[in-house]
Chain A
Amino acid sequence: MSCPINSKAELAKLSPEKAEELDVYLTSLPLTDDRERNRGFLIQSLHKAQEIFTYLPSVVQVHVANRLGLHLAEVYGVISFYSYFTDKPVGRYKINICTGTACFVKGADKLVEEFQRYLGIKLGETGTDGKFSLTGLRCVGACSMAPVVMVNDRVYGNVTTKMVPEIISDCK
């Protein structure tokens, strides 16, 4: 059922430390031979893997599938379903523009346009130099400061199109 290749070795080629970190986490889970039960740990394993690798390349998917005793297709199905997971590399700076309702009525669409224009990439894309990714996000719960932009963990509130260059230049 699981993929015949030695996925841990493949993963270690990407980064031995990261491969080890993920493996320690997977080993800590109370996994059994019951695939259905193991599947309950899939989403949290993918969260952990994405936290470690910043995205979920196919070697990571194969390894998680192998350890949980799941088919690669099942793992990929979950990754493609949930918007939080990505199998493409992301930029060092993830610019998340909130497009929740509160931010929408306060003009988030203008911010989206301005960021796209300024960075020359579209929502959902990463720049060729790998520095910036631009994504939309639905409500971070800081609606009182709408419109809100999050860059990695930093929150900018009451953002205007004029602040865009300033926010970009904060990313050093």
Chain B
Amino acid sequence: MIDSPAKLKSHAENLSKNSKPATTILVSLGTCGIAAGTRPINDMLKAEIASRKADIEIVEVGCMGLCHSEPTIEVVNNASGKSVIYGKVKADQVAAIIETASKGIEAASCTVINRSWFYPEENETATPERIQARIVLKNTGKINPEILDHYLAEKGYQALSKVLFDMTPQQVIDTVIESGLRGRGGGGFPTGKKWAFAAAQKADQKYVLCNADEGDPGAFMDRAVLEGDPHSVLEAMAITGYAIGSDTGIIYIRAEYPLAVKRLEIAIDQAKKQGLLGKNILGSKFSFDIMIKYGAGAFVCGEETALIHSVEGKRGEPTVKPPFPAIEGLWKKPTVVNNVETFANVCAIIRNGAPWFKKIGTPGSPGTKVFALAGKVKKVGLVEVPMGTTLRQIIFNVGGGIMNDRKFKAVQTGGPSGGCIKFDQLDTEIDYESLKRLGSMMGSGGMIVMDEDDCMVNVAKFFLEFTLDESCGKCTPCRIGNKRLYEMLHRICDGRGTRETIQNLKDLSNSIKDTALCGLGQTSPNPVLSTLAQFEHEYLAHIDEKRCEAGVCKKLLKYEINNSCVGCTLCARNCPANCISGSVKQKHSIDQSRCIKCGVCMDVCKFHAVDRK
């Protein structure tokens, strides 16, 4: 039991004094790592260490952010502090890795990954190779999230100890206001102000609610934090509770994240056993408990009023604001709703002070932002950069550019509420306002890169289909308006659109934006408006020339076999619709009436004998 600040401090000091083995190997075991087969590699590493009786410990950590190179491990030489990261580790490399690790040298013939981030809290600064700044992801990929002592050794729960014993609730709120921290869930509302509203309410009960619904498809920042460093969120929630006068925290997490749920449950249990959560935390008068509530697959439940209804066990339908949750939230009590990543900033701000935090990022948007970089980029992964970094740096430096050296077309941010950004806008320095000016938005951090093979009309259709699926149906503009938008996009993709369709798309989009009830409907036309603004020529090509430049819209495509065909029969054998005929060494032909336009023939042909028109 750690029941005083002094004990917490001495415990952390003892942990740092504990003798370490010569080498530590960090093994990335987040969802992506596990899916990529890191577990068997981990077992082999352990077996190899045991059989050699090597002085090496294995630490199973969360996502290192290097999802493109899983299985990823980091070998740390504890004497020199030097480390080397190996990516795409294969079974036959395990022996060499352990062998060289014992000798303190790099393993030849393994893929070495350069560290592209620095730690502002360790007084490191950016270099041309290291433009990422890890504050939120400070511990993910470094500590075992299931071992409390690992977190405590990284100054864990010291921010909570500091606020409980050295600060008044008002001082905590002032610090967060001064830091300029803004909500990372998408809206960018100043976090300290939100806390001040809730703190000013007189009520017998208040709640701290953590939004871990992460509904943007293709975004996985919050998942990585919860899987890799759950205590940092718990600690921040307790700090929020102290600041606003609440003794109950609730984490609302999507059911699709079983590993994050498990790690949160373990973390809550450990913290309670050690007196870091629960009654009289660290021997103070402050008590705070945290519960987990589960989502059940509804995107709109990420919206805070819908989320509150879902926690109450109702259909997750949003309601009109005001009243804002900070005034009247869960069970009609004042409730602070913050995103996982917002919370994950709080402890660092308290530990290092607001001026330290403000030095990072831009004046209007201090700090960093975590992005889930995915799509057609070489290095898919988690990226945490100071606000003000350009999109070009993220996609081309950190992300390594476009896969298969195709041409960049657009990057989509803000998920189904956001928009697409073009090549000539890539030097924009990102913050909440700059992305809005480009017709997109920060959103929660999904960043999907698209190349010349992506059709922008089809992309808009994809997001509309998503919104249609997820609309709760409560208000007419969203329920019916989005359906009409979707149908219009469908017509354009099928080659049945006219110039009038474009005007109708614009008009209806603007009406929906103005009249929908909640943030879901108000932002759902954004993908349409932004692709129309940036890529109108693609819409026009579909309409005027019945042509899909990217070769995606099937109704506008035709596959034909040209004279380069040598009759190898490969296409006919691979055609899933069996609609290619021709005998060996004879030119083949495609039966257009049965062709499903899957493009397999074109992919398999070695002679460039299939044309797409």
Contact = CB atoms under 8 A, between A and B. Distances in A.
Given A78-B313, A155-B35, A141 B297 contact: no
B299 interface: yes
Contact of A47 (B296, B375, B380): B296
A100 B218 contact: yes
Contacts of B392: none
Contact of B256 (A104, A139, A143, A145): A139
Given A101-B412, A141-B223, A144-B32, A82 B297 contact: yes
B217 A77 contact: no
A144 B67 contact: yes
Contacts of A42: 313
* Chain A, interface SS category: helix
A84 B296 contact: yes
Given A82-B316, A117-B576, A145-B32, A140 B294 contact: no
Contacts of B415: 101
A139 B215 CA distance: 9
B303 to A, nearest CB: 14
A104 B296 CA distance: 22
Interface in A127-154: 137-146, 148
Interface stretch (B169-177, B274-282, B446-454): B446-454
B220 A104 contact: no
Interface-central residue, B294, B296, B376, B466, by most chain A CB under 10 Å: B296
Nearest to B599: A110
Nearest to B300: A81
Most buried by B among A101, A103, A142: A101
B376 A82 contact: no
Contacts of B596: 113
A46 interface: yes
B7 interface: no
B420 to A, nearest CB: 11
A54 B35 CA distance: 24
Contact of B257 (A39, A104, A141): A141
B448 A81 contact: no
A135 to B, nearest CB: 10
A91 to B, nearest CB: 18
Interface residues of A, number: 43
B598 interface: yes
Contacts of B472: 81
Contact of B293 (A43, A137, A138, A155): A43
A44 interface: yes
A139 B218 contact: yes
Contacts of B315: 77-78, 81
Identify which of B311, B331, B372 gathers the most chain A CB atoms within 10 Å of its CB: B372
Contacts of A144: 32, 36, 67-68, 70, 374, 380-381
B313 A101 contact: no
Nearest to A148: B35
B314 interface: yes
B286 interface: no
B67 A36 contact: no
A16 interface: no
A85 B450 CA distance: 33
A141 B219 CA distance: 7
Interface string A82-123: 111100000000000001111111100010011001000000
A15 interface: no
Interface in B137-192: none
A137 B297 CA distance: 9
B541 interface: no
Contact of A40 (B295, B313, B372): B313
Interface of A: 36, 38-44, 46-47, 77-78, 81-85, 99-106, 110, 113-114, 117, 137-146, 148, 155, 157, 161
9 contacts: A38-B313, A40-B293, A42-B313, A47-B294, A77-B315, A82-B295, A138-B297, A143-B32, A157-B36
Given A84-B295, A101-B216, A146-B374, 9 more contacts: A46-B296, A81-B315, A82-B295, A83-B296, A103-B218, A105-B459, A139-B220, A143-B220, A143-B380
A-B pairs, top 9 by smallest CB distance, nearest first, are A100-B217, A144-B67, A101-B218, A82-B296, A39-B313, A84-B297, A42-B313, A102-B374, A84-B296
